[in-house]
Amino acid sequence: MSRLRRSVCIYLSAIMLSCFTAVRTTDAASPRFVRSESGPSGKVVDNRFQFDEVRNRFVYPQDKFLTVYFEWEAVPGNHVLTAYWKDPTGSVASISPDVKMETRTLELHAYWIFEVAPGLRGGVWTVEVRIDGEPSGTHSFELVMPEAPAKPVAAAATPKLPTLDEMYASIGRSLAWVHKLDDGGHPIDTALGFVIGPDKVATAFQAIDSATRFEVVFADGSKVESDEVWAADRLQDWAILKVATGRIPSLRRMQNGTVPVGERYIVFNVENQTVRVIGGVDITGKRSDGILGDRIQLGPPPAAEAVGGPLLSPSGEVAGVVGGSVIPGARFGQHALSVNPALWPRLNDEVAAIPIVLLPAADHATPATLPQLLSQGLLTPPLAPVASLVFGAATRNVPKGARDENIRDTAEFSHGDGIAWVYTLWQKKEKNGKGLVSAKVYDQRNRLLVNVAPKKIGLSDVPLRVAFDFPLQSFAAGVYRVDVLWNDQPAWRTFFRVTD
């Protein structure tokens, strides 16, 4: 692999606007471009973006940001939007992360914010948008950039950066596999971790969530089993494990904590669930998710098994921890999925990174055990999947007829819906066909909001539907978790979002 490169410092973000007006019929199979505009600033009014000033010429440094807005007519449904930013030479300078959205009408709107940074090429730029892989419109704008200052006669020498081969050899010694163990000591999920200090292994919180114990396997083949944690944060998605690290070197933290958008950083990815490979990722953006804290956006996102590994600067310092889940408890191991394929989070939980500055650098005198964290409500209760639970989902309405299968699944509710339903489908596949079904609804902090009383059921070869509902008036906007219990043990879970 070639040496590291630094990409142009561009910040891209997309905010989708979808309408809920009456649906018109159309025969068009491809989105029809309606119009595009650009301007320095604006706001969303009545589900459309309105500019304070519309223009196509921007002068730096007076204009440090610009917004480009598009409208289409498109068949309602799921769409993927990608923006390609081309400089005046026609070369693609950057590609925005894919934006996945669902529309219910013919109206499809989106806008992207572009940060004008020093060093960009002046001239006419073009943003080309593709919808579902097909070209669907372009918009051109002019950037006027100041002339670059004359280079000094004798510039200071740039420090030599390590090669990928050098980083793979040196940093690889400090990496570890983190295996999540169940009550029987069997591995149920795998993630990455890395030594960050003597007897300290940093990883993502989701790498130990729902575990009874964990096993850490270092690059030299040594193994340590433990259930002790120095510190952890469920919402920020990080944990520092207490395990004996011996002479394994610690990775260096990045001191200034600044990760520039547009830079090329390094991660250890995972292929075929077992092989660690090194490669580059672009820092495509930053965001703050309220109680969840800061996130660093990565493109392309690493594999799920790479969660817990380090995000490395070009010099090899740790800039963050790969993970950044915004749906605590949504990680499902392959073991649970193989027992019950109906398990899935329903909401996309992208892989990002947590800034390393969020992890405490000071020593902790007393570690906590996983059972203690579970009793404190920090951990998500582990699942004990039941083969007889065939399917489950959230919906806005459940038909009165027990055999009516015309149920529309959803993962998003508004307060206007009034109530939310969760239903499950059961069929006898085990010897014991009798048991108690109950349910609990939690917020992102793992606080119990709804407790559904147990209901005794008897299973047979005929599918049985069990459903319950709860009012949404007291639910603030956010993501919530539903656990369905069989004989008081969580057997299945899903997630749903409540909007304003």
Is the predicted pLDDT of residue 151 greater than 70, yes or no? no
Q: Which of 128-142, 341-355, 407-421 has the lowest mean pLDDT?
A: 341-355
* Res. 418 pLDDT band, cuts 50 70 90: very high
- Check residue 68 and give its pLDDT: 94
Q: Is residue 432 exposed (0-12), middle (13-18) or buried (19+ Cβ within 10 Å)?
A: exposed
Asked whether the beta carbons of 212 and 375 are under 8 A apart, the reply is: no
Percent of the chain exceeding pLDDT 90 equals 60
Last residue in a domain, options 328, 347, 380: 380
**What would the mean pLDDT of 7-14 be, rounded to a whole number?**
35
How far is 163 from 165, CA to CA, in rounded Å?
5
Buried b / exposed e over 208-218, threshold 16 CB at 10 Å, is: bbbbbbbbbbb
Domain presence at residue 101: yes
Q: Are residues 427 and 349 in the same domain?
A: no
Q: Are residues 416 and 326 in the same domain?
A: no
Token pair of 421, please? 């339903």
Domain presence at residue 462: yes
Is the predicted pLDDT of residue 377 greater than 70, yes or no? yes
**What would the mean pLDDT of 93-111 be, rounded to a whole number?**
88
Give backbone dihedrals phi and psi of 335, rounded to 5 degrees, phi first: -60, -50
How far is 203 from 239, CA to CA, in rounded Å?
5
Mean pLDDT of the chain: 86
Q: Which of 5-9, 153-157, 213-217 has the lowest mean pLDDT?
A: 5-9
Percent of the chain exceeding pLDDT 70 equals 88
Asked whether the beta carbons of 194 and 178 are under 8 A apart, the reply is: no
Domain presence at residue 36: yes
Q: Which of 20-29, 41-50, 79-88, 307-316 has the lowest mean pLDDT?
A: 20-29
Range of the domain at 108: 12-144
Token pair of 339, please? 């027992």
Q: How far apart, in Å, are the Cα atoms of 110 and each of 63, 82, 103, 129, 147?
A: 21, 11, 12, 10, 33
- Check residue 395 and give its pLDDT: 92
**From its phi and psi, is residue 34 left (phi > 0), alpha (psi between -120 and 50) or beta?**
alpha
Q: Are residues 54 and 202 in the same domain?
A: no
Dihedral sign (CA 224, 229, 230, 232): positive
Q: Are residues 47 and 108 in the same domain?
A: yes
Q: Are residues 300 and 218 in the same domain?
A: yes
Q: Are residues 172 and 276 in the same domain?
A: yes
Last residue in a domain, options 89, 112, 144: 144
The pLDDT tens digits for 173-219 are 999 999 999 888 889 899 999 999 999 999 999 999 999 999 999 99
Is the predicted pLDDT of residue 57 greater than 80, yes or no? yes
Question: For residue 123, what are the β-bridge partners?
Answer: 143
Asked whether the beta carbons of 411 and 496 are under 8 A apart, the reply is: yes
Domain presence at residue 152: no
Q: Are residues 207 and 347 in the same domain?
A: yes
Is the predicted pLDDT of residue 420 greater than 50, yes or no? yes
**What would the mean pLDDT of 132-159 be, rounded to a whole number?**
80
Q: Are residues 276 and 322 in the same domain?
A: yes
- Check residue 157 and give its pLDDT: 67
Domain presence at residue 30: yes
Is the predicted pLDDT of residue 16 greater than 80, yes or no? no
Question: What is the distance, to the nearest Å, from the Cα of residue 435 to the centroid of all Cα atoms in its chain?
Answer: 36
- Check residue 196 and give its pLDDT: 96
Looking up residue 106, the CATH number of its domain turns out to be: 2.60.40.1930
DSSP string of 417-463, one letter each residue: G-EEEEEEEE---SS--EEEEEEEEE-TT--EEEEEEEEEEE--SS-
Domain presence at residue 150: no
* Res. 44 pLDDT band, cuts 50 70 90: confident
Q: Are residues 95 and 195 in the same domain?
A: no
Q: Are residues 393 and 371 in the same domain?
A: no
**What would the mean pLDDT of 5-26 be, rounded to a whole number?**
35
The pLDDT tens digits for 436-462 are 999 999 999 999 999 999 999 999 999
Domain presence at residue 155: no
Looking up residue 336, the CATH number of its domain turns out to be: 2.40.10.120
Q: Are residues 27 and 171 in the same domain?
A: no
- Check residue 322 and give its pLDDT: 96
Domain presence at residue 153: no
Last residue in a domain, options 362, 380, 398: 380
Q: Which of 23-32, 149-158, 390-399 has the lowest mean pLDDT?
A: 23-32
Question: For residue 215, what are the β-bridge partners?
Answer: 179, 225
pTM of the model: 0.67
Comparing CA positions, the residue from 273, 260, 267, 13 lying closest to residue 117 is 260
Which residues have CB under 8 Å from 366's CB, separation 6+?
Answer: none
How far is 268 from 43, CA to CA, in rounded Å?
39
Q: Say how many domains are in the chain.
A: 3
Q: Are residues 283 and 350 in the same domain?
A: yes
Is the predicted pLDDT of residue 160 greater than 90, yes or no? no
- Check residue 118 and give its pLDDT: 87
- Check residue 344 and give its pLDDT: 56
Comparing CA positions, the residue from 144, 140, 145, 16 lying closest to residue 68 is 140
The pLDDT tens digits for 259-286 are 999 999 999 999 876 788 988 899 999 9
- pLDDT higher for 352 or 364? 352
